């Protein structure tokens, strides 16, 4: 999932790839990847800025929020990211308030972008805060 920005043509680059689940380090006891991650998307370039728009599909093994039973949950998430060269001024990365555009901005070095962080975040952000194994789950006391 690493692309050299010089390989992105003026018209953009569309791709479809399956990535091994182990590459994403989503492997906690209550949340881990059940299968590899499918990524469809496109990269466009405007000078040194790269834009990634795509879709991520996979399945996670999670726990029911009430009874803690294992359940499988499908992820089908949109992902949008902007990649810019890493600034030379290291103070830029100190404490400061993020604006809306910075929350979707990734930085790259050596003309190479890696989509791993954007895809990782899209997977985890698609998980609901409250998830039930079945609609009438009563939990431990039921």
String of DSSP letters for the chain: -EEEGGGS-TT-EEEEEEE-GGGG--EETTEEESS-EEEEEEEEEETTEEEEEEEEEEEEEEE-TTT--EEEEEEEEEEEEEEEEPPS-GGGGSS-PPPTTGGGEEEEBTTEEE-HHHHHHHHHHTS-SS--SSTT---TT-
- Across the chain, what does the average pLDDT equal? 88
- Look at residue 115 and tell me whether its pLDDT is greater than 90: yes
Q: What is the mean pLDDT of residues 36-58?
A: 96
- Look at residue 121 and tell me whether its pLDDT is greater than 90: yes
pTM of the model: 0.84
**Share above pLDDT 70 across residues of the chain, in percent, rounded to a whole number:** 87
Report residue 11's pLDDT band, with 50, 70 and 90 as the boundaries.
Answer: very high
The predicted pLDDT at position 29 comes to: 83
């Amino acid at each position: 999932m690493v692309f050299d920005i010089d390989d992105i043509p003026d018209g953009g680059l569309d791709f479809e790839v399956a990535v091994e689940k182990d590459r994403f380090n989503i492997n906690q006891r209550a949340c881990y990847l059940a299968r590899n991650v499918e990524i469809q998307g496109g990269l466009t370039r405007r000078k040194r800025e790269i834009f990634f728009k795509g879709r991520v599909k996979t399945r996670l093994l999670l726990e029911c929020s009430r009874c803690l039973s294992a359940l499988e949950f499908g992820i089908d998430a949109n992902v949008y990211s902007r990649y810019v060269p890493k600034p030379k001024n290291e103070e830029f990365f100190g404490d400061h308030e993020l604006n809306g555009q910075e929350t979707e901005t990734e930085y790259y070095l050596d003309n190479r972008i890696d989509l791993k962080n954007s895809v990782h975040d899209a997977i985890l952000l698609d998980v609901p805060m409250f998830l039930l194994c079945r609609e009438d789950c009563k939990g431990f006391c039921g």
